[in-house]
Amino acid sequence: MRGAFFDALLTLAERDHRINLIVGDLGFGVVEEFARRFPERFLNAGIAEQNMTGIAAGMALSGRVVFTYSIANFPILRCLEQVRNDVCYHNANVKIVAVGGGLAYGSLGSTHHATEDLAIMRSLPRMTVVAPADPAEAGAATRAVAARPGPCYLRLGRAGEAQVHSGPIDFQLGKAIQVSQGSDLSLISTGGMLETAVQVAESLHHAGLQTRVLSMHTVKPLDADAILAAARETGAVFTLEEHSVDGGLGGAVAELLAEAGAGPHTFRRFGLPSTFSPVVGTQEYLRAQHGLTAKAVASAIASILEKERTFAATCTG
Amino acid sequence: MAIPSVSAQDEQRAALAKKIRLHALHMIHRAKSSHLGSAYSMADLLAVLYGRILRIDPQKPDSADRDRFVLSKGHACAALYAVLAEEGFFPKEWLEHFYENGARLAGHATHVGVPGVEVSTGSLGHGLPLACGMALAGKRDGQAYRVFTMLSDGECDEGSTWEAALFAPHHRLDNLIAIIDYNQIQSLGTVKEVLDLEPFADKWKAFGWAVHEIDGHDCAQIERALTDIPFAAGKPTCVIAHTVKGKGVSFMENKLLWHYRAPDRDEMARALAELGDSE
């Protein structure tokens, strides 16, 4: 996703002289081309995220479209008040880009796990929150946030992820992409968990369950129409994210469904518990520790739906 | 237009500073709000800035080439609103509704719907980074505007202030002027007691700023300093203005209490008498 982001950004910067990139002294091997080609629109602010974000807002208020770039929590949590006051309150045209969303930096330890970012960014007024699923979505998301006036948060995975979408995608902020059709259940994922979601759907297919998979790349504003249709038409809704189950995609979907009063008969959030990882491990290892593999999620869903069926049969029988 | 004589300039600046103090007094009394002492320590600095230095047009508050003024010590906004109203950015009548439900003028500098307020502040340590961004954009755009920001001494406790202090000289932002209202009193005590900043000027010099220390209540001195900028080509300017919290009303001067207290009727009368209210 990182490569797709920079490719898209370079193309945008070529066409639009307002595009600026400010980095917090991170991005070795990937930011140099932008710096070389657009030196007057590049800035390394040093390891000083509060100042970086204030500067970004000040530059945006002077007519620029400013991308800030760092890893994991650094561009949002260290400088959260600057994000809230300087960027959001002033509706400044700042696009915050974090590479290493979720557990991408698994072995680096809990300081580098961005696992509450969606919840925190989602709560800020004016903030658009986007977590693309694969390189194709990441490139499209970069173009979309650049074109959207005002604050945006773009949560990227790492480098070298596989493409999940097999063909061209219709990427619009606030509109989910339906990856597969299905009437038995809906599985809504955000960010890089889409790959797992697709594998879950394949696995459930073998068990006779047809899954509607939605890539909810935009967590805010949420695609309420797609979620309500999924609840109405499939009856069972599951969310999947590499993020705390508190307040992220699952929380957002739960809020929507509860208030709509047209809830599905089954709803469950798959994500991370609100804890710090007690063990060291790679992204894959830590996902597995928390039941976020395709096998574990498919098995959990099958078991939940089976219980529902048994219960329903008991009631009607 | 004839150039006003030196004494006429002095009178102009003093008259504006007096109006700022009178407005702030009425506003804070009426609102039963706070931070009068903080407004008074920078009243003379604001009078010189708005009366003599800033290249701004109240008719075109958003023009691209305007000088920027960022009030980083947003809690002292009563003085900023007062000077903006006096300069014609918005009707003076708005000042009567400071702090009121449904009104525009909040208790910390607020840009929403208030012409002339460049950015909203209130949480400390935000102004210098924002001003750095504006100054850098100006440099890179080849614009001639200058960016002035007014900091409190207390907010020099904030790490973000020093992040920006490190940044500005590195990027040779000689279109940036940080004025520090060094009134020596912060929220719970004197600066010396809470977190000593001395040797203060040396710190800014060591970071690479061109520093002048002035008497922040001597309008002629303020004007000279702010006219001479940049003090050194390629360096951002730091003006450490030695001021007195509550300056202008004897019983408020150098008193921590007047960071918080709103004057009652008796105090109002005494303050008005001292300020020479003739209205």
Enter the ipTM: 0.93
Asked if B129 lies within 8 A of A81 by C-beta distance, the reply is no
pLDDT at residue A298 greater than cutoff 80: yes
Mean pLDDT of A132-158: 97
Percent of chain B past pLDDT 70, that is, above it, reads 97
Asked if B132 lies within 8 A of A85 by C-beta distance, the reply is no
Asked if B132 lies within 8 A of A55 by C-beta distance, the reply is yes
More confident residue, B136 or A265: B136
Name the pLDDT band for A312 (thresholds 50, 70, 90): confident
Burial of A22 (0-12, 13-18, 19+ CB in 10 A): buried
Residues of A in contact with B160 (CB under 8 A): 50-51, 54, 82
Asked if A59 lies within 8 A of B130 by C-beta distance, the reply is no
d(CA B107, CA A292): 48
Task: Give CA separation, A227 vs A120, A189, A236, B79, in Å.
Answer: 21, 11, 11, 51
Name the residue of chain B whose CA is nearest to A92's CA. B119
**pLDDT for the residue B1:** 46
pLDDT at residue A84 greater than cutoff 60: yes
Chain segment A86-129, per-residue pLDDT in tens: 999 999 999 999 999 999 999 899 999 999 999 999 999 999 99
Name the pLDDT band for A310 (thresholds 50, 70, 90): confident
Asked if B137 lies within 8 A of A59 by C-beta distance, the reply is yes
Chain segment B72-99, per-residue pLDDT in tens: 999 999 999 999 999 999 999 999 999 9
Asked if A55 lies within 8 A of B130 by C-beta distance, the reply is yes
Name the pLDDT band for B2 (thresholds 50, 70, 90): low
Burial of A248 (0-12, 13-18, 19+ CB in 10 A): buried
Chain segment B54-63, per-residue pLDDT in tens: 999 999 999 9
Chain segment B121-177, per-residue pLDDT in tens: 999 999 999 999 999 999 999 999 999 999 999 999 999 999 999 999 999 999 999
Mean pLDDT of A42-61: 98
d(CA A164, CA A198): 8
**pLDDT for the residue B277:** 78
Q: Give the closest of B131, B138, B163 to A50, CB-based.
A: B163
Q: Measured between CB atoms, does A82 come within 8 Å of chain B?
A: yes
Q: Measured between CB atoms, does A39 come within 8 Å of chain B?
A: no
Looking at the complex, report in whole angstroms how far the Cα of residue A38 sits from the nearest Cα belonging to chain B: 12
**pLDDT for the residue B9:** 82
- Spell out the domain ranges in chain B: 6-275
* Domains recognised in chain A with CATH numbers: 2-155 (3.40.50.970), 177-316 (3.40.50.920)
Conformation bin of residue B120: beta by default, left when phi > 0, alpha when psi is -120 to 50? beta
The kind and range of the H/E element at A218 are: strand A218-220
Mean pLDDT of A202-218: 97
pLDDT at residue A261 greater than cutoff 90: no
Residues of A in contact with B167 (CB under 8 A): 45-46, 48, 51, 55
**pLDDT for the residue A311:** 74
Q: Give the closest of A45, A59, A64 to B167, CB-based.
A: A45
Could you confirm whether domain B6-275 is CATH 3.40.50.970?
yes
Task: Give CA separation, B127 vs A92, A106, B143, in Å.
Answer: 15, 36, 20
Number of Cβ within 10 Å of residue A262's Cβ equals 9
Asked if A61 lies within 8 A of B136 by C-beta distance, the reply is no
Asked if B134 lies within 8 A of A61 by C-beta distance, the reply is yes
**pLDDT for the residue A314:** 76
- Packing angle between helix B159-170 and helix A49-60, nearest 10 degrees? 60
With an 8 Å Cβ cutoff, the interface of chain B facing chain A consists of 64, 111, 119-123, 125-126, 128-138, 140-141, 159-160, 163-164, 166-167
Asked if B163 lies within 8 A of A89 by C-beta distance, the reply is no
Residues A191, A156 contacting (CB under 8 angstroms): no
Q: What is the mean pLDDT of chain B?
A: 95
**pLDDT for the residue B89:** 98
pLDDT at residue A234 greater than cutoff 70: yes
